[in-house]
Chain A
Amino acid sequence: MTMVNAPTVDAKQTGRSQRPGGRIKVHTGPARAAEASCACPLIRSRDFCLFYGSAVGVRDITIDVYPCSVTAIIGPSGCGKSTFLRSINRMNDLVPGARATGRLEVNGQDVYDKRVNLPNLRQQVGMVFQKPNPFPKSLYDNIAFGPRLQGVRKRSRLDEAVERSLRDAALWGEVKDDLRKSALALSGGQQQRLCIARALATRPKVLLMDEPCSALDPIATGRIEELIAKLKEQYTIVIVTHNMQQAARVSDRTAFMCLGELIEYGLTRDVFTNPKAKQTEDYITGRFG
């Protein structure tokens, strides 16, 4: 059911009445071809629930994330998007009283298994946070942090890793002259790209992004979105965003969550133009949220 090179879908064509929310442009492109070929998902969750003590964080999430794609999770505030995202690399362990049930697999392995090697997992599943949080060290040390953890000591290899990460994050050109500069001296957008570079330095399979652009100005946001489009060729990206237009722009698949439950999950253009659940439609058209 792929629609390669399909033109922009119009509300009229689908036969629905004009919606007050306006048009939502759905991005299509050649990358879409990839998703069809990879039938095996990288991240699978089956009835995954997370509790904070007795309060429910997320409930019965069943979702498949396919490799080399961008999956967006949208929903109103407090619906559990970040909670689920953070469950994937077990960052919720930091919260006292967090408890998970169900199954959540990354690359075939249950993340919540007792025997799992947590540092390893986190190096495979990188994370970028909402507010850019570079360490108060030099650019070099920030990016080399990951490789150093992995045991890389040789200077040349570290240099190589740093350059590669910075190029991947589209930051190399701007900072290559002075890597010793403190990371806090960069602008907000640059810091976020630095955080992305830092996460990429460990060669993760998955990159989790928790509202990466919410603290940035529109120009920086645009650059990050370009970056995401580029990164998607190599990495699997799961992005949580409260900005629906952004989700529509960058992602291949979208999941809509509300009050801790997964309401709808599917290809982005389907979700935005032909949402199956009423809640999804209400949210997308702006009736609540």
Chain B
Amino acid sequence: MRRFLRAAFDKCFTLTAGTSVLLMAAALVIILGPILYRGLGAVCFRATVEWRKLQFYEPLFARGDRQQIDRQVERTEAARAGVYDIMDRFSALLEAEPQIDTVRRLYRQFKTQLRNRQEAGRLTGRQRRLLTRQGRELRDALTEAYEAVDTRVADQRLATVLASDQKEALSDTVLRAYFDLAAQRRGLVGKVSLPWLRANYPNVSDTSDLKAEVERVLKQLRLEVQRQVADGKTTAGEAERMERAAGQVGRALRAAFESLDLDQSLPHLAAVERLRADNPLEASADLKPLAAGLYDMAPAYRRFLEGHDLARVRSRYLPAYLDVKNRIAVMFGPRPGARPEAALAEFSYGTTRWDQARQRLDDLVYETRWQALADNKVRQAVRTPRAETFRGTELAKVFPLLQRDFEKMMAPEFTIYWRYFTDDCTPGHLFGGVGPEIVGTLLLTVLAMVLALPIGVVTAAYLVETAGDNVFVRVVRTCINTLAGVPSIVFGLFGLAFFILWVPANMPWLGMRPESNILAGALTLSVLVLPIVIRASEEAIRSVPATYKEASLSLGAGGLRTFLTVTLSAALPGILTGVILSMSRAAGETAPILFTAAVAWRKGMPESLARGGTRALSYSSYDMAVSDRVAMDAPHNQYGIVMALIVLVLVLNIAAILVRSRVSRRLRGQ
């Protein structure tokens, strides 16, 4: 029984040990896997034409094949032209500002032109004053036409401009452009104000005809009702009710048609809708189509009024339209020929990554509104197509166009952005790579090791070989062990207080300055890793077989010679283990360099080790993690920099492990 229990226990133990190793490996994969995978997305991704433009035109990168880029830009611009066309057509009536600016600019150019001509002697002062006055009148009329919220007013002003008898006189000046603009605008205005009328009542030119139309339909209706009574299909009472209902509808419609102002017509149109609800005219099959024709006038007239009132049109569509325009600008970048808002990379180019572009397209085509469910107060996010907002207008066509041709507009290609690890980045870490961070971290780490290793090994040698077992040595040992457990932020503050503040003040001959510099950071890091190096070296030196030392001494070597040639080379694998552990620690620590060496942003690398802070992977990871801009616009960069840190530490470790294994093998005699 005992034997069985023991065997069972052994098996259990092996199983537990194996399971825990597997769990650790799984934890590592679970923690690192997603980070590495997402970080890989910063290096391998589908890049749009905007990215290639960024790489070529941005002076930071300036690489690429010009011909290929130009060809692609041509193709994408051709694909996008359709979108811009639709937007222009829709916005012409919404946005008066650009047009008014154009009118004013033309007028200023006109005045300059007249002045030049007068100076050249081709005009007299009186002619010039006359022409100026005429130009001013035209300008005012055109401006009013653009600003008008009533299309009839706009139409009137435009007609004035077009009928002006100054066309001839101004035909050789810049102001001839006015007439073209006026004609263009008239066309647009005309479209908005009369589409419904022209479509349904070709003979109608204003609302008085609408009233006549109502009369005609009513008369037809009455005739029909009487015929039905005569045929015996309806009773007299029924007929009377029907006639009364029809009369009410007719009166309401006529009242609505009285005014072209939506606010005044609205009550009557609402009344028509109510009458439709309990509708005695529905009863008969013959009457139904006639009645429908009557009832349908109300919503149609309402749409007409809404389109007729530019102020309402603007207030209804303008915010939504501006939102759409903004989103398209974010996706495509500034329009060809237009300057960006600000001379920053993020405004000069569109969306550079295909996955991001697709997400933005989705956000453009669908809008998320918070709607309250039936009776609940709780609101739910509901995705509605944005085209609903623009239903019936020109802009509704842009959404299917975008969805269909988006690939042609962005030209995505799979790229492997190797230079991610060497490129500098644009301010804010939105575009570009982590090159300076990698260099900074490498400098700090290597310098810290170079400083810590000799001191650590010598200290370990002293503790093992020379030191006796007195109080002093024990105190030193305790201090070293305590130092190993001190939080790294304390080291950072110490570095700040000592290397940045105290040393430059009290030892100016050293040449260090009271500002961030790599040397201070490296010194702080070396103090941080010193205990690790000392411990590992001590273990390693202690574990060198005493026989080596004996042999060396018996051959006549002194103590130092023995240590350097025999003990040290035999202890090398253990010391290298200490190097591996401390390199990983030094590369990844943020707190020690926070006050001493790290800066969030600087251009390139500092000029020397003792002047100027550097960017570092660990600190920039933190900086990017808390930055909202980066989280919104470039989340791949957040993962990318963490991946770069992990990969760097991995590479350093592997290199050191390879060196150690070679040394180990040589020591074992293979």
B669 at the interface (CB under 8 A from A): yes
Pairwise interchain contact B555-A184, C-beta atoms closer than 8 A: no
Q: What separation, in Å, do the CA atoms of A287 and B566 have in the docked complex?
A: 44
Q: What separation, in Å, do the CA atoms of A264 and B373 have in the docked complex?
A: 113
Q: A154-199: which residues lie under 8 A (CB-CB) from chain B?
A: 182-185, 195, 198-199
Q: Give the residues in chain B near A94, CB-CB below 8 Å.
A: 549-550, 553
CB-defined interface of A87-119 with B at 8 Å, one 1/0 digit per residue?
A: 001010010000000000000000000000011
B608 at the interface (CB under 8 A from A): no
Q: Give the residues in chain A near B565, CB-CB below 8 Å.
A: 145
Pairwise interchain contact B555-A133, C-beta atoms closer than 8 A: no
Pairwise interchain contact A129-B551, C-beta atoms closer than 8 A: yes
State the 8 A-B residue pairs at the shortest beta-carbon distance, nearest first. A184-B669, A133-B547, A123-B556, A182-B669, A127-B554, A119-B556, A122-B556, A136-B667
- CB < 8 Å: which of B545, B555, B566 contacts A146? B555
Q: A136-153: which residues lie under 8 A (CB-CB) from chain B?
A: 136-137, 145-146, 149-150
Pairwise interchain contact A135-B556, C-beta atoms closer than 8 A: no
B668 at the interface (CB under 8 A from A): yes
Pairwise interchain contact A135-B668, C-beta atoms closer than 8 A: no
Nearest residue in B to A184 (C-beta to C-beta)?
A: B669
Pairwise interchain contact A149-B555, C-beta atoms closer than 8 A: yes
Q: Give the residues in chain A near B666, CB-CB below 8 Å.
A: 136, 182
B134 at the interface (CB under 8 A from A): no
- CB < 8 Å: which of B545, B553, B556, B669 contacts A120? B556
Pairwise interchain contact A123-B551, C-beta atoms closer than 8 A: no
Nearest residue in B to A130 (C-beta to C-beta)?
A: B547
Known: A136-B669, A185-B669. A119 touches B558 (CB 8 A): yes
Q: Give the residues in chain A near B547, CB-CB below 8 Å.
A: 129, 131, 133
B557 at the interface (CB under 8 A from A): yes
CB-defined interface of B240-256 with A at 8 Å, one 1/0 digit per residue?
A: 00000000000000000
Nearest residue in A to B555 (C-beta to C-beta)?
A: A146
Q: Given A129-B550, A135-B552, 8 other A-B contacts at CB below 8 A?
A: A94-B553, A118-B556, A122-B555, A129-B554, A136-B669, A146-B556, A185-B669, A202-B556
- CB < 8 Å: which of A91, A123, A198 contacts B550? A91
Number of B residues contacting the other chain (C-beta, 8 Å)?
Answer: 23
Pairwise interchain contact A182-B557, C-beta atoms closer than 8 A: no
Pairwise interchain contact B551-A133, C-beta atoms closer than 8 A: yes
B430 at the interface (CB under 8 A from A): no
Q: What separation, in Å, do the CA atoms of A185 and B670 have in the docked complex?
A: 7
- CB < 8 Å: which of B548, B550, B557, B670 contacts A119? B557
A57 at the interface (CB under 8 A from B): no
Known: A149-B561, A184-B669, A185-B670. A133 touches B556 (CB 8 A): no
Q: What separation, in Å, do the CA atoms of A184 and B667 have in the docked complex?
A: 8
A260 at the interface (CB under 8 A from B): no
A126 at the interface (CB under 8 A from B): yes
Known: A182-B669, A185-B670, A202-B555. A136 touches B570 (CB 8 A): yes
Nearest residue in B to A132 (C-beta to C-beta)?
A: B547
What are 23 inter-chain pairs, A to B, with CB distance below 8 A?
A: A91-B553, A94-B549, A94-B550, A118-B558, A122-B553, A123-B556, A126-B554, A126-B555, A129-B547, A129-B554, A133-B545, A133-B547, A133-B551, A135-B548, A136-B666, A145-B555, A149-B555, A184-B669, A185-B669, A185-B670, A198-B551, A199-B554, A199-B555
A153 CB, min distance to chain B CBs, angstroms:
15
B569 at the interface (CB under 8 A from A): yes
Known: A182-B669, A184-B668. A149 touches B557 (CB 8 A): yes
Q: Give the residues in chain B near A118, CB-CB below 8 Å.
A: 556, 558
Q: Give the residues in chain A near B561, CB-CB below 8 Å.
A: 149
Q: What separation, in Å, do the CA atoms of A122 and B558 have in the docked complex?
A: 10
Nearest residue in A to B572 (C-beta to C-beta)?
A: A136
Q: B555-601: which residues lie under 8 A (CB-CB) from chain A?
A: 555-558, 561, 565-566, 569-570
Looking at A122, A123, A195, A199, the one whose CB has the most chain B CB atoms below 10 A away is: A122
Pairwise interchain contact B554-A182, C-beta atoms closer than 8 A: no
Q: What separation, in Å, do the CA atoms of A183 and B566 have in the docked complex?
A: 14
Looking at B548, B555, B566, B570, the one whose CB has the most chain A CB atoms below 10 A away is: B555
Q: B266-323: which residues lie under 8 A (CB-CB) from chain A?
A: none
B200 CB, min distance to chain A CBs, angstroms:
103
Q: B520-566: which residues lie under 8 A (CB-CB) from chain A?
A: 545, 547-558, 561, 565-566
Known: A120-B556, A183-B669, A198-B555. A135 touches B566 (CB 8 A): yes
Pairwise interchain contact B556-A182, C-beta atoms closer than 8 A: no
Q: What separation, in Å, do the CA atoms of A89 and B555 have in the docked complex?
A: 10
Q: What separation, in Å, do the CA atoms of A202 and B556 have in the docked complex?
A: 9
Q: What separation, in Å, do the CA atoms of A95 and B267 have in the docked complex?
A: 115
Known: A119-B556, A146-B556. A133 touches B669 (CB 8 A): no
Q: Give the residues in chain B near A89, CB-CB below 8 Å.
A: 554
A95 CB, min distance to chain B CBs, angstroms:
11
Nearest residue in A to B554 (C-beta to C-beta)?
A: A127
A141 CB, min distance to chain B CBs, angstroms:
9
Q: Give the residues in chain B near A122, CB-CB below 8 Å.
A: 553-556
Q: What separation, in Å, do the CA atoms of A123 and B555 have in the docked complex?
A: 6
Q: Give the residues in chain A near B548, CB-CB below 8 Å.
A: 133, 135-136
B358 CB, min distance to chain A CBs, angstroms:
61
Q: What separation, in Å, do the CA atoms of A127 and B558 have in the docked complex?
A: 16
Q: Give the residues in chain B near A91, CB-CB below 8 Å.
A: 550, 553-554
Q: B35-61: which residues lie under 8 A (CB-CB) from chain A?
A: none
Q: What separation, in Å, do the CA atoms of A89 and B556 have in the docked complex?
A: 10
Looking at B553, B565, B569, B666, the one whose CB has the most chain A CB atoms below 10 A away is: B553
B469 CB, min distance to chain A CBs, angstroms:
9
Q: What separation, in Å, do the CA atoms of A91 and B605 have in the docked complex?
A: 57
Q: Give the residues in chain A near B556, CB-CB below 8 Å.
A: 118-123, 146, 149-150, 202
Q: What separation, in Å, do the CA atoms of A126 and B553 have in the docked complex?
A: 10
Q: Give the residues in chain B near A127, CB-CB below 8 Å.
A: 554
Q: What separation, in Å, do the CA atoms of A91 and B549 have in the docked complex?
A: 11
A264 CB, min distance to chain B CBs, angstroms:
28
Q: What separation, in Å, do the CA atoms of A149 and B552 have in the docked complex?
A: 10
Q: What separation, in Å, do the CA atoms of A94 and B550 have in the docked complex?
A: 9
Q: A198-233: which residues lie under 8 A (CB-CB) from chain B?
A: 198-199, 202
Q: What separation, in Å, do the CA atoms of A233 and B566 have in the docked complex?
A: 32
Q: What separation, in Å, do the CA atoms of A100 and B561 have in the docked complex?
A: 26
A248 CB, min distance to chain B CBs, angstroms:
27
- CB < 8 Å: which of B545, B550, B552, B668 contacts A145? B552
B383 CB, min distance to chain A CBs, angstroms:
72
CB-defined interface of A56-88 with B at 8 Å, one 1/0 digit per residue?
A: 000000000000000000000000000000000
Q: What separation, in Å, do the CA atoms of A123 and B557 have in the docked complex?
A: 9
Q: Give the residues in chain A near B570, CB-CB below 8 Å.
A: 136
Q: Give the residues in chain B near A183, CB-CB below 8 Å.
A: 669
Q: Give the residues in chain B near A198, CB-CB below 8 Å.
A: 551, 555
Q: Give the residues in chain A near B555, CB-CB below 8 Å.
A: 122-123, 126, 145-146, 149, 198-199, 202
Looking at A118, A126, A137, A150, the one whose CB has the most chain B CB atoms below 10 A away is: A137
B214 CB, min distance to chain A CBs, angstroms:
113
Q: Give the residues in chain B near A131, CB-CB below 8 Å.
A: 547
Q: A261-276: which residues lie under 8 A (CB-CB) from chain B?
A: none
Q: Give the residues in chain B near A145, CB-CB below 8 Å.
A: 552, 555, 557, 565
Q: Give the residues in chain B near A195, CB-CB below 8 Å.
A: 551
Q: What separation, in Å, do the CA atoms of A135 and B669 have in the docked complex?
A: 10
Q: Give the residues in chain B near A202, CB-CB below 8 Å.
A: 555-556
B580 CB, min distance to chain A CBs, angstroms:
21
Q: Give the residues in chain B near A150, CB-CB below 8 Å.
A: 556
Q: What separation, in Å, do the CA atoms of A121 and B553 have in the docked complex?
A: 11
Q: What separation, in Å, do the CA atoms of A185 and B668 have in the docked complex?
A: 8
Nearest residue in A to B663 (C-beta to C-beta)?
A: A136
Q: Give the residues in chain A near B558, CB-CB below 8 Å.
A: 118-119
Pairwise interchain contact A133-B550, C-beta atoms closer than 8 A: yes
Q: B225-270: which residues lie under 8 A (CB-CB) from chain A?
A: none
Q: Give the residues in chain B near A119, CB-CB below 8 Å.
A: 556-558
Q: Give the residues in chain A near B566, CB-CB below 8 Å.
A: 135
Q: What separation, in Å, do the CA atoms of A134 and B550 have in the docked complex?
A: 11
B637 CB, min distance to chain A CBs, angstroms:
49
